[in-house]
Structure 1
Amino acid sequence: MTLTRTLRGVMCAGVLAAGLVAAAPVSAHSPGASTSPVPANLVPPAGNAPFATFGATGVQVYTCTAGAWTFTEPAAILTGKAKGFPGPQTATHFRGPSWQSTRDGSLVEAKSVASSPVSGAIPQLLLQATRTRGDGVFGAVTYIQRLDTSGGVAPASACVDGQTSGVPYRAVYRFFTAA
């Protein structure tokens, strides 16, 4: 019964994410640039160059575990531009964390290696690629920055085990490849 409730909650969060993404204007974050200075600890090592910037709109999904909200996964749609790839690019961002191109199927998975707090929002991050797939836009990614975050913080309310909540967020994701 708990598994059924959990799955139902995750499915509801996914539907919520799809609704929020569909209803929210993607232009809230310009896909072309971050609007604030990048903290020094979020700069990738020398030898990595930015090649794509995407604006993201979605939700951070939280599940109630032992009476507390815990992060489960992101669910977001990204749009932007990438050097060497014509036209606008789109991608989905989901558990892993993973990013997958909706145009060419390429994928990057990553792990967080540094963070910088943001008041009232999820932290900015530097992530290092752990796996890539395909020759497309994400096939050679080495590092990812999550910048200009707004929203996405875990609910402050009490919760019941198995309950899920999708909290809207926006961010700019900057992707790097070996220079």
Structure 2
Amino acid sequence: MMIKTTLAAATLLALTACASNMGAPAMYSQAMLPDSMQVPAGHRVAMETVGVGEITYECRADKDMAGKYAWVFAGPDAKLMSRGGQQLGKYYGPPATWEAMDGSKITGKQLAVSPGGDGNIPLQFVQANPAMGVGAMSGVTYIQRVKTRGGVAPASACGMANVGAKQIVNYQADYIFWKAA
């Protein structure tokens, strides 16, 4: 009986250890990103989020080429979610603004973009401006938009007949927030 109890306890302990490791998030790695998209040494990941939402495009006349029209990025509207599905904040604009649930928020300056693959908006690397308010966004130095899915401009016609028309497309992307180490 003692051997069965010990064996059962050891099995339970091993299963518990495996299950607890399954829920642990993997540390974010920049290894697959182009150099221009990588955060400089001396920074650490402060928060990883999954942005799920929409991007609005507007049909506009090209200011530099008479008679040319195009769908132009008008702004995002997304929820910033934890990997577990809890809302941590929101992303909206213009200007592009990342806001935590505690009210702290940041804007930033785009430093680089890189292709996100067919049908996906580009990856993006942003240097954060100082945070407004105190909270989760305080001290954020860089934001990376990676693992993009969807969000590209509509394929429908944009011309003189529908200038000012807006189209909304769904997208998803991971937003990685960095702070100085």
Inter-partner Cα distance in structure 1 for 2:167 and 2:131:
30
Q: 2:111 aligned with 1:109, yes or no?
A: no
Structure 1 residues 23-102: aligned runs within 5 Å: 32=25, 37-66=32-61, 67-80=69-82, 88=86, 90-95=88-93, 96-102=95-101
Aligned to 2:11: none
The answer (yes or no) to whether the contact 1:149–1:170 under 8 Å persists in 2 is yes
The answer (yes or no) to whether the contact 1:151–1:168 under 8 Å persists in 2 is yes
Shift of 1:72: 0.8
- SS of the residue 1:136 aligns to: coil
Structure 1: unaligned runs, 5 residues or longer:
1-31, 82-87
What fraction of aligned residue pairs are identical, expressed as a percent?
39
Structure 2: unaligned runs, 5 residues or longer:
1-24, 62-68
Inter-partner Cα distance in structure 1 for 2:90 and 2:131:
15
Inter-partner Cα distance in structure 2 for 1:51 and 1:92:
16
Q: TM-score, normalised by structure 1?
A: 0.73
- The 3 A distance-change label for structure 1 pair 164 and 131 is farther
Q: Which amino acid aligns with 1:117?
A: P
Aligned to 2:169: 167
- SS of the residue 2:36 aligns to: helix
The answer (yes or no) to whether the contact 1:64–1:162 under 8 Å persists in 2 is yes
Shift of 1:37: 2.5
The answer (yes or no) to whether the contact 2:48–2:176 under 8 Å persists in 1 is yes
Inter-partner Cα distance in structure 2 for 1:168 and 1:149:
11
Q: Can you list the C-alpha shifts for 1:126-178, whole angstroms capped at 9, x where unaligned?
A: 10012311221011110000000010000121131110111100000000011
Shift of 1:89: 5.2
**If you compute each CA radius of gyration, which structure gives the higher value, 1 or 2?**
2
4+ runs of 1 displaced by more than 6 Å?
none
Q: Which amino acid aligns with 1:158?
A: A
Shift of 1:97: 0.9
Shift of 1:90: 1.4
- SS of the residue 1:37 aligns to: coil
Aligned to 2:123: 124
How many residues were matched structurally? 142
The answer (yes or no) to whether the contact 1:89–1:101 under 8 Å persists in 2 is no
Shift of 1:38: 2.5
- SS of the residue 1:121 aligns to: coil
Inter-partner Cα distance in structure 1 for 2:109 and 2:167:
23
Aligned to 1:3: none
Inter-partner Cα distance in structure 1 for 2:82 and 2:135:
14
Instruction: Please give the root-mean-square deviation of Cα atoms over the aligned residues, in Å.
Output: 2.1
Q: Which amino acid aligns with 1:134?
A: G
